[in-house]
Structure 1
Amino acid sequence: METKQELLAALEETNLWIEDQKKAWFWEKWTRLPFKILDKITPQFIHKKIGSLLDEMGGYIQNGGKYLTSQKMMYSYIEKKTGRTISNLEDISSLELAEMDKLSKTLAGSRKQAAAIQGATTGIGGLFTLTIDIPALLGISLKTLQEIAVIHGYDPNDKKERVFMIKCLQFASADIVGKKAVLDNLSAYYEGEVSTNEVMAQIQGWREVVYTYRDQFGWKKLFQMVPVAGIIFGAFTNRAMISDIAEAGTVLYRKRRILDRLHYREDSV
């Protein structure tokens, strides 16, 4: 286990990354313009598919739905990668931060590859295959965050954790104002004082996630009108999105684990 000084240094490093994410980029809003222009000519069945994702996201928060990952498989994965005996989340939560970072990085690499293949495949069909690609990518995103949660010793079966993951999705794709709002909402998690009532009050956030996903597909939707470009850009866009989500999830969960360990040290003194 890390010393208090090592934990504080890790916390500072994590906070620096978070602060850097809150900086505005001049092209941030411009990247969404193509979708806003094309939205007017988008077939109605695509809009209906977006609406159905709202119901799916609500179901995920409530009970995990079809997106819930297998913790046993994750235990086996972590056991194989670390050489340690893993039978529960407590075993995982005692891993060193460096081990958690390595596990998260390896996992993110495989998930980015899967997302790229998914994007290239749906890119073949042009504009209309977005109805397949968007929910598929959302599924990969949620599973990636659940796996990162387990790697840091947190239970994705807990409804509070599923809301935290939705916040991670929001943070990864939000603009500067949105990132600050998400961090404010996550403060209760970092302080270890999140309550069921607070969680229920934040559930409306899943709607923002779904519509943000829709907006993020602006450039991809534009290029998918050109068959070959759709394949290339589909793979690139999906890979980039999962990369951002995995990075945000790793850092935000890492911060929680660091703070939990610091709180534990203070309580045991």
Structure 2
Amino acid sequence: MEWTGLKNVESADYLHSELKKIEDWEKKQKDLWFWEKIGRLPFMLLDKLTPKFIQDKIGLAIDELGSYIQTGGQYLVNEESILKKFAPEGALWTVDGIRLDLHKHVPISRMDEVANEIGNSRTKMATIQGATTGIGGLFTLAVDIPVLLGLSLKVLQEISLCYGYDPKEKSERIFIVKCLQFTSSDIVGKKAILVDLASFHQGNQSNQIVSQLQGWREVVTTYRDSFGWKKLFQMVPIAGIIFGAIINRSSMSDVAEAGKMLYRKRRIVERLHQIESVQG
């Protein structure tokens, strides 16, 4: 039954072709954009001048990320709102039923459609958020960074659900933070993360991955440093509106793209393994 359902969804040739596209995308991930590299410098210089309440707010975001990894914290999403997008109109459905369909019968192309829809929606939301907090200049960055971090974690959880994975599981939350880390890492960091995530593609969520995230504070530090230019320009409120919108949009778009590609790869690899096990 599993083989019949899977065969009707997509062929092994199709899956190999799509996997090749993702691998090509991975190879194209370059070092930080030139302006992003420079953008880290103002943050380092301005850090000493930043009021304590802003530093405390950013520190709170770091602590909340640790809580998210351990328990899900305040960032866990409502899976029903995402899974119902896959339910046939007018049909009776359950969360477990839709999740089973995502594993076995829902075409990856359909998963992509929903993931793209969610990514576009969250990117628009982040753009508005960036413009709104830019109105207040430098001080509203204390609000913007934690909010954007929360939106990033939310969109990655929603994308995980699109491809049939449950963000309530700790291993998935670790994968999600790795996706977040991937978007703000340089080329060396990206290569290392892809190696780390290979164990997920092989179905081996070992304690090795968990131990690698003991330094999860570095994830937020890297994430925070990418806001260098934004912090610089938010010293001028009007400029903060423009740059807040642009940088938030770019950041969320990158997070959504990375989440989609990395989760898509996992689902493709798992389906290929299923087909190969049946054929073998």
TM-score > 0.5, shorter chain as reference:
yes
Residue 24 of structure 1 deviates from its aligned partner by 6.2
1:66-77 equivalences in 2 (<5 Å): 66-77=74-85
Q: Which amino acid aligns with 2:257?
A: E
Query: How many percent of aligned residue pairs carry the same amino acid?
Result: 54
- Equivalent residue, structure 2, for 1:257: 267
Pick closer, same or farther for the CA change 1:178–1:85 going to 2, 3 Å: same
CA–CA distance in structure 2, aligned partners of residues 87 and 28 of structure 1: 41
CA–CA distance in structure 1, aligned partners of residues 17 and 135 of structure 2: 47
Contact in 1 for aligned 2:137/2:235 (Cα 8 Å): yes
Contact in 2 for aligned 1:119/1:133 (Cα 8 Å): yes
Contact in 2 for aligned 1:115/1:235 (Cα 8 Å): yes
CA–CA distance in structure 1, aligned partners of residues 106 and 259 of structure 2: 18
* 1:132 equivalent in alignment to 2:130: no
Coordinate RMSD, CA, aligned: 1.9
- Equivalent residue, structure 2, for 1:247: 257
* 1:16 equivalent in alignment to 2:24: yes
* 1:214 equivalent in alignment to 2:224: yes
Q: Which amino acid aligns with 1:222?
A: L
Structure 1 residues 172-216: Cα deviation after superposition (integer angstroms, max 9, x where no partner)? 111111111111211110111122x22431222421221112101
Comparing 254-263 with 22-31, greater Cα deviation is found at 22-31
- Equivalent residue, structure 1, for 2:3: none
CA–CA distance in structure 2, aligned partners of residues 25 and 234 of structure 1: 18
Residue 240 of structure 1 deviates from its aligned partner by 0.8
Pick closer, same or farther for the CA change 1:31–1:181 going to 2, 3 Å: same
Pick closer, same or farther for the CA change 1:209–1:180 going to 2, 3 Å: same
* 1:159 equivalent in alignment to 2:170: yes
CA–CA distance in structure 1, aligned partners of residues 181 and 88 of structure 2: 32
- Equivalent residue, structure 2, for 1:236: 246
- Relative to the length of structure 2, the TM-score reads 0.90
Comparing 44-53 with 169-178, greater Cα deviation is found at 44-53
CA–CA distance in structure 1, aligned partners of residues 33 and 231 of structure 2: 22
- Equivalent residue, structure 2, for 1:62: 70
* 1:52 equivalent in alignment to 2:63: no
- Equivalent residue, structure 1, for 2:235: 225
**Paired residue for 1:30, among 38, 41, 50?**
38
Contact in 1 for aligned 2:119/2:155 (Cα 8 Å): yes
CA–CA distance in structure 1, aligned partners of residues 34 and 143 of structure 2: 31
Residue 167 of structure 1 deviates from its aligned partner by 0.4
Q: Which amino acid aligns with 1:211?
A: T
Residue 51 of structure 1 deviates from its aligned partner by 1.8
CA–CA distance in structure 2, aligned partners of residues 193 and 231 of structure 1: 44
Contact in 2 for aligned 1:115/1:137 (Cα 8 Å): yes
Pick closer, same or farther for the CA change 1:212–1:69 going to 2, 3 Å: same
Contact in 2 for aligned 1:111/1:242 (Cα 8 Å): yes
Structure 1 residues 208-251: Cα deviation after superposition (integer angstroms, max 9, x where no partner)? 22111210111111111111111111111111100000000000
- Relative to the length of structure 1, the TM-score reads 0.94
Q: Which amino acid aligns with 1:241?
A: S
Pick closer, same or farther for the CA change 1:84–1:19 going to 2, 3 Å: farther
